Every structure is written in C-alpha cells, then in structure tokens.
C-alpha cells in the first residue's frame, strides 16, 4: 500500500470531513480516511496536479487481486448520474482513491471485503 499523503483541495477536505461526521463509512474506512486527512496536503483546486484523482476526473484502476481494470468517471455528488455513467466522488471507490496519484496502490473496504487497487491512469475533463 502506498503511504504517501493525499493531495486535495480545501473544499474536498471539508466534504470528506463532513462525510465522516455523517457516519457513512465502515469503521475500517473511517479510521483510514481520518489518517489520510490528518496527513493530507491541502491546495487550491487549480493547483492539484493533473495525475491526481479529484472531482471531474476519469480514472482507470486495477483490482490487484484479480487484475480486472475498470474506468470510473468521478464528479461532484449532485452531478452523479447513472445514465451518464458517472460516480459521485463520495461513492466508495471515489472516497478510496481521492487525492492519490497515478501509480498509487490503495486498500479500501468494499461490500465484498477489503480490496487493493492500483491507480493506472488519471485524466481530467
């Protein structure tokens, strides 16, 4: 697992803190996210590097256990629509990978148990 600190905007930092306060996460994920936020680098949205997962990014990830690759389009919570094939940045996978750069490996508890992912590609749109 990559222990580098995440890079997020102040707005996303506040959104994630609120997500924790609303008790939307498992105990495992809550503790992991709290640690990530404690060590996070907060910068202006315009200064987030192009290869870092944030709002309005298309992200290709690989499940390390199976080798399966999936691409997700992450958007603001109010803009997420199934018909547009977009996911909220507050979806389980969105929260898991937000702030990480291409090449990072992330461990997160999903419905089917703890999973390990590698961020293969990040593209802004």
Q: Where along the chain do its domains lie?
A: 7-124
Calpha distance 100→96 (Å, rounded): 9
As its CATH architecture, domain 7-124 has: Roll (3.10)
Is the pLDDT at 60 greater than 70, yes or no?
A: yes
DSSP 101: B
Query: What pLDDT sits at residue 2?
Result: 45
Calpha distance 25→17 (Å, rounded): 11
Calpha distance 85→82 (Å, rounded): 5
Q: Print burial letters for 4-39: b (CB count within 10 Å at least 16), e (below 16).
A: eebbbbeebbebbeebbeeeebeeebeebbeebbee
pLDDT in tens, 64-106: 999 999 999 999 999 999 888 899 999 999 999 999 999 999 9
């Amino acid at each position: 697992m990559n222990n580098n600190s995440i890079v997020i905007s102040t707005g996303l930092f506040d959104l994630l803190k609120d997500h924790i306060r609303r008790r939307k996460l498992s105990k495992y994920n809550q503790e992991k996210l709290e640690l990530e936020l404690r060590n996070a680098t907060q910068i202006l949205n315009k200064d987030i590097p192009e290869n870092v997962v944030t709002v309005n990014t298309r992200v290709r990830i690989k499940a390390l256990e199976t080798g399966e690759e999936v691409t997700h389009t992450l958007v603001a919570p109010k803009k997420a629509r199934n018909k547009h094939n977009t996911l909220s940045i507050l979806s389980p996978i969105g929260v898991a990978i937000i702030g990480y750069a291409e090449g990072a490996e992330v461990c997160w508890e999903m419905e089917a148990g703890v999973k390990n992912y590698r961020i293969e590609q990040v593209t802004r749109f």
